[in-house]
Amino acid sequence: MDSRIKAPHTPPTPGETLFLAIIKSADGLGQQAEQLMKSAGLTGAQYNVLRILRGADDTGLPCSTVADRMISRDPDMTRLLDRMEKRNLITRERQKDDRRVVKARITEEGLALLKKLDLPIRDLHRKQFDHMTAAHIKLLTDLLQEVVERHAGQRSCGNDKVSATK
């Protein structure tokens, strides 16, 4: 007789199944977007920074605010911004009134790169979801927004809205 004891299989809970579906979907969709960014010489995080800064006014945003608005956290925001500044995609300036604050701004070169990506990104998202009706897309967005809002307080930062633009 076999002395090994098998643990009984318990089917996944609906929450576990949903969690895995969200993670697998996000990974697949994200990889497609990463490939598009890569073709433009950007990482997803760099693209996200550029989008955040494009949405800011001409005075820019404190680097800490950019970090807070990131979709995915980057553990070394300073190095990320250093690389982007070396490529002339952004500028950073320490504020005279509060030397602790460094503001980042998007450059003309950064704006031009984003403009070049706007249509391909829009087309990618259209293709990713063209199998869904507009009503299903809205419903899924609303449901996921509910999850984001429920757990927003558990993140370290504030602006966690699911949004196509920042």
C-beta of residue 34 within 8 angstroms of C-beta of residue 43: yes
Note down the domain range covering 89: 37-118
**What number of other Cβ atoms are within 10 A of residue 12's Cβ?**
10
As for how many domains the chain has, the answer is: 1
Rg value, the chain, Cα: 20
User: Is residue 9, in this structure, part of any structural domain at all?
Assistant: no
User: Is residue 16, in this structure, part of any structural domain at all?
Assistant: no
User: Is residue 132, in this structure, part of any structural domain at all?
Assistant: no
Q: Which of 5-9, 18-22, 53-57, 92-96 has the lowest mean pLDDT?
A: 5-9
User: Is residue 86, in this structure, part of any structural domain at all?
Assistant: yes
Q: Which of 25-29, 49-53, 110-114, 149-153 has the lowest mean pLDDT?
A: 149-153
- Segment 81-117, tens digit of pLDDT: 999 999 999 999 988 888 888 999 999 999 999 999 9
User: Is residue 127, in this structure, part of any structural domain at all?
Assistant: no
